[in-house]
């Protein structure tokens, strides 16, 4: 009876360990698949750089480290910081026009003759 309980506990422990390993492997694979040119990469050796290209056929990446192009295996990637979205000029124009209108409103309010601060 004690032997059966021990086997069940051991089996449960193995199942949970395997499940956590699968989650970690899936997360790692998702991270490697999300690499795109322009992403910031850190290798397992601690080298920081910008991803220049990904060769899925060979399983390699080219990393631009301050003008020096280096080729690594995909498995040498420790972490990936995704490409930040670049603000479009239309979005910037909208922000600038809002700021100008706020400045105009503040200027008009401070120039009124009924102001107690004159």
Tell me which residue of 88, 73, 28, 83 sits closest to 50, measured CA to CA: 83
Model pLDDT, residue 115: 54
Please give the distance of CA 53 from its chain centroid, rounded to a whole number. 17
Domains belonging to the chain, first-starting first, are 2-83 (2.30.30.100)
Residues in the chain: 118
Please give the distance of CA 25 from its chain centroid, rounded to a whole number. 18
Total-model pTM? 0.55
Tens digits of residue pLDDT in 37-70: 888 999 999 999 999 999 889 989 999 888 899 9
Residue with tokens 């322009």: 38
**Are residues 75 and 35 in contact, defined by beta-carbon separation less than 8 angstroms?**
no
């Amino acid at each position: 009876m004690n032997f059966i309980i021990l086997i069940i506990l051991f089996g449960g422990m193995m199942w949970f360990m395997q499940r956590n390993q699968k989650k970690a492997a899936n997360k790692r694979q998702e991270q490697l698949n999300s690499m795109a040119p322009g992403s910031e990469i850190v290798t397992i050796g601690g080298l920081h750089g910008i991803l220049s290209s990904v060769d899925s056929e060979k399983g390699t990446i080219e990393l631009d480290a301050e003008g020096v192009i280096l080729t690594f295996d995909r498995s040498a990637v420790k972490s990936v910081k995704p490409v930040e979205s670049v603000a479009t000029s239309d979005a910037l124009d909208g922000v600038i026009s809002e700021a100008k209108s706020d400045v105009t409103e503040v200027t008009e309010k401070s120039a009124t003759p009924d102001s107690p601060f004159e």
